Structure 1
Amino acid sequence: MTIPVLICDDSALARKQMARTLPKEWDVDITFAANGAEGIEAIKAGQGEVVFLDLNMPVMDGYEVLESIQQNDLPALVIVVSGDIQIKAHERVKALGALDFIQKPVSAEAISHILQEYGILTLENEGETTDEDMIEVDMRDACQEVANVAMGRAADLLSKLLDVFVLLPIPNVNVLEVSELTMALKATEENPTISALCQGFIGAGIAGEALLLFHDSSFNDMAKLMGLSNPEDEATEIEVMIDTGNVLIGAFLNGISEQLDMQFSQSHPVVLGRHCTVNELIHDNSAKWHRTLAMEINYRIEDHNIQCDLLLLFTEDSIPTMNFKLGYLLD
């Protein structure tokens, strides 16, 4: 009997990877949804007896989808597939009725194991050919999905160190001119002043700088979570920035290196500016950056007044190598 399977993820690359990892001999009819609202409609239409669900999506995220499935008693077995690997994320989706959790990037072995463990996988002599090769993935989408997975690795490490839950956004990925950087930093508009840390990185054919933009209103709460005294002291503020940068930048770059199969070397962190505006920061350092591939992630900590932006600026010369590396994920 053919089983209706729904793959719900805002990333075309993630949808394609997910479809490819399903057992070829599994008799399924696959439907794709690019956000949670589309996913719910597909489930209501009988197209999602088994659902592979992402968490970070526009319109309606994975948590909201699980809530809707519970509230409306919809017939769906949900397996969450996400880059957000925080323990508390696992606990929350299980409490909302998810069958299990698989971390991105997915593997065929992990999928097959879970399907068999829960008795979902029914093997036939011939499975239907899936149409994952019909899914078109552009490089920006691929970069965004790579950033999504790396973002989750960094959040998981921060959450373990501070015993908190890190709220994750959808990564913002664009090729920008330096003049466009200020406009790209939407999350900083509500925060008049920031302090910034910069750390260079370089790999085989890929180089750039990571910026940690720390909202000034966040210092007190962050210092307390780290067990530091005198949160308003200049030395304490710098220590908070460097410690946070070591965690987020290091883990994020490791997440990218794992996916692209390469290693990065990092320079020592440098304080770029303290208690300044984004305009001032970009203007004062504009000579360092030209046209760039930018990945922006706004990290927030639940129940705390803590917010910081991680911005990775890859040099224009890095883009061909990035495209080459990403090509392996698309093939």
Structure 2
Amino acid sequence: MSCSILICDDSSMARKQLARALPQNLDAQISFVTNGEEALSALENGDGEILFLDLTMPILDGYGTLEAIKQRGISSKVIVVSGDIQPKARQRVMELGAHGFIKKPASAETLAKVIEQLHVPRLSDDPGNKANLHQSRQKKDEGVAPDSLAQQFVAKADYIDAYREITNVAIGRAADLLARLLDVFVRMPVPRVNLIEVSELQMALNYSNREEACSAICQGFIGAGIAGEALLIFHDSSYQDIARQMGYKGLIDPDTEIEVLMDVANILIGACLKGLETQLDLTFSQSHPQVLGQHLSIDEILKTNTQERWKKTLAIEVGFSVEGLNIECDLLLLYTEQSVAFLNERIGYLVE
């Protein structure tokens, strides 16, 4: 008897990757949705005996979706597929009723084991069955609308989605390391992608309090025609809590602040770039990290350090915050305008 499978992810690339990685001989109808609200509607309409669910999504994220499934008594079996791989994320989704947890990108081998455990029926080797399966895999996946600003500069709209997705997976590795070091839960929003004039970078940043004092570290990277800088902006109000979590005792003097700043930068920037290298099959050479400024406004930091380097930048911004503690920072990946063509070439293999 045929089974219905629902794939819920805001990334078109992620949905297609997961569908392609599923076993080819499943007796299943596969459909797609882009956020938790759409998933709940589909589940209540009878689609999705098995739900593959992302965690980091707009409108309604994976945690909220799991809570609603539990509250409404929906009987679907949920497998979380996420770039957020920190221990507390895995623990939470299992407590909310998920049947399993898979890190992105999901491999065919891992999905085959999950499908076997869930007893999803298989088709025979009849070519007609395989044709029907191919049709079912395409059902309802109409994609996510691209960012209109970035679309003006990037060759294909699907690539904007791909930039978000590969960054989401990379920062998931970074958040995992930070969460393990501090024994905390790190909140991660969906990355924001813009290709803009560098002079407009300050306006593009999603800061709730633009006058708050910050400190910043920058680290350059280059490889395979791609050049850029990783910029970590650390809220000064975070020093006390993060120093305590990292085992520092006594007063937080200027030397301790620099040490904390360097430690956090090494974790987040290093892990994020490593995650990008793995997905894009390249190697970055990295410069030594530099402190750009301390106890300044975000506008002062960016105005002093970015405007003379290049005119346009592909800016990808990710905000990190720690649940229950006053720890916040932003990681920006700033690629030169000339790097976009090389990035598109690499990303093209993932998109197509």
Q: TM-score, normalised by structure 2?
A: 0.91
How many percent of aligned residue pairs carry the same amino acid?
Answer: 51
Q: Distance in 1 between the 2:205 and 2:258 partners?
A: 22
- Matched to 1:313, the amino acid is L
Note the aligned Cα RMSD (angstroms): 1.5
Q: Distance in 2 between the 1:8 and 1:204 partners?
A: 33
- Matched to 2:3, the amino acid is I
Q: CA deviation at 1:243?
A: 0.4
Q: CA deviation at 1:229?
A: 3.0
Q: CA deviation at 1:290?
A: 2.2
Q: CA deviation at 1:132?
A: 7.3
- Picking from 146, 159, 170, the partner of 2:179 is 159
Contact 2:210/2:297, CA 8 A, preserved across alignment: no
SS in structure 2 of the partner of residue 213 of structure 1: strand
Q: Distance in 2 between the 1:144 and 1:278 partners?
A: 23
Pair 1:260–1:133, CA change in 2 (3 A): farther
Q: Distance in 1 between the 2:215 and 2:285 partners?
A: 24
Does residue 159 of structure 2 align to residue 139 of structure 1?
A: yes
- Matched to 1:255, the amino acid is G
- Picking from 225, 232, 246, the partner of 1:205 is 225
Does residue 351 of structure 2 align to residue 330 of structure 1?
A: yes
- The aligned residue for residue 270 of structure 2 is 250
For residues 109-151 of structure 1, give each alpha carbon's deviation from its aligned partner in whole angstroms, at most 9, with x where no partner exists.
11111111232x2111134112179655611100000000001
Contact 1:187/1:298, CA 8 A, preserved across alignment: no
- The aligned residue for residue 28 of structure 1 is 28
- The aligned residue for residue 148 of structure 1 is 168
Q: CA deviation at 1:75?
A: 2.1
Using the TM superposition, name which of 27-36 and 229-238 deviates more.
Answer: 229-238
Pair 1:240–1:91, CA change in 2 (3 A): same
- The aligned residue for residue 223 of structure 1 is 243
Q: TM-score, normalised by structure 1?
A: 0.96
Q: Distance in 1 between the 2:177 and 2:286 partners?
A: 18
Contact 1:223/1:231, CA 8 A, preserved across alignment: no
- The aligned residue for residue 38 of structure 1 is 38
Q: Distance in 1 between the 2:68 and 2:299 partners?
A: 42
Does residue 193 of structure 2 align to residue 193 of structure 1?
A: no
Q: Distance in 2 between the 1:233 and 1:220 partners?
A: 10
Q: Distance in 2 between the 1:138 and 1:200 partners?
A: 27
Q: Distance in 2 between the 1:132 and 1:72 partners?
A: 26
- Matched to 1:138, the amino acid is D
For residues 281-329 of structure 1, give each alpha carbon's deviation from its aligned partner in whole angstroms, at most 9, with x where no partner exists.
1211211242111111101111110000000101111111100000010
- The aligned residue for residue 312 of structure 2 is 291
- The aligned residue for residue 341 of structure 2 is 320
- The aligned residue for residue 60 of structure 1 is 60
Q: Distance in 1 between the 2:188 and 2:325 partners?
A: 14
Contact 1:81/1:104, CA 8 A, preserved across alignment: yes
- Matched to 1:82, the amino acid is S
- The aligned residue for residue 275 of structure 1 is 295
Contact 1:188/1:278, CA 8 A, preserved across alignment: no
SS in structure 1 of the partner of residue 263 of structure 2: helix
Does residue 46 of structure 2 align to residue 77 of structure 1?
A: no
SS in structure 2 of the partner of residue 309 of structure 1: strand
Q: Distance in 2 between the 1:190 and 1:298 partners?
A: 14
Using the TM superposition, name which of 224-233 and 95-104 deviates more.
Answer: 224-233
- Matched to 2:324, the amino acid is D
Q: Which runs of 5+ in 1 are unaligned?
A: none
Pair 1:108–1:206, CA change in 2 (3 A): same
Does residue 199 of structure 2 align to residue 179 of structure 1?
A: yes
Q: Distance in 2 between the 1:94 and 1:134 partners?
A: 27
Runs of 4+ in 1 over 2 A off after TM superposition: 132-137, 187-191, 229-232
- The aligned residue for residue 94 of structure 1 is 94
Pair 1:243–1:323, CA change in 2 (3 A): same
Q: Which runs of 5+ in 2 are unaligned?
A: 144-156
Q: Distance in 2 between the 1:274 and 1:289 partners?
A: 23
SS in structure 2 of the partner of residue 143 of structure 1: helix
Pair 1:221–1:58, CA change in 2 (3 A): same
Using the TM superposition, name which of 241-250 and 191-200 deviates more.
Answer: 191-200
Pair 1:135–1:330, CA change in 2 (3 A): farther
